[in-house]
């Protein structure tokens, strides 16, 4: 009787855990800052808008990682998503465009 070794594929790859953790940490930063200074004054709507923007970016990244197989194209798409989220965040914060 032989035992075949199977490669275990994790359900949550490292990039997925890291991206959702980054979203949580970014959302926690203003919450913590509001406890120490009056200069950071976010309303619940600000947190919702940030969560939708960041969560949408991570969902788009997950979609790209499932569809695109070539590492170079994945990197290009990830940078495009990151750039779009950063531009929208800056526009919402100070209206640069």
Note whether residue 77 is domain-resident.
Answer: yes
Residue 29 lies in a domain: no
pLDDT at 55: 97
**Could you tell me if 65 and 85 are in contact, meaning their C-beta atoms sit under 8 angstroms apart?**
no
Domain-embedded: residue 75? yes
Q: Is the dihedral of CA 5, 6, 7, 9 positive or negative?
A: negative
Asked if residue 30 belongs to a domain, the reply is: no
Q: How many domains does the chain have?
A: 1
Residue ranges for the chain with pLDDT beneath 70: 1-3, 5, 8-10, 97
Its pTM stands at 0.81
- The answer as to whether 12 is a domain residue is no
Residue-number span of the structural domain to which 63 is assigned: 47-97
16 within domain boundaries: no
């Amino acid at each position: 009787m032989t035992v075949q070794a199977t490669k275990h594929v994790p359900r949550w790859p490292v990039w997925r855990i890291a991206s959702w953790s980054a979203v949580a940490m970014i959302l926690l930063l203003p919450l913590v800052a509001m406890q120490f200074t009056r200069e950071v004054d976010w309303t619940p709507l600000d947190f919702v808008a940030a969560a939708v923007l960041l969560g949408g970016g991570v969902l788009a990244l997950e979609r790209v990682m499932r569809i695109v197989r070539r590492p170079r194209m994945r990197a290009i798409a990830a940078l495009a998503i990151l750039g779009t989220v950063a531009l929208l965040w800056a526009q919402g914060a100070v209206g640069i465009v």
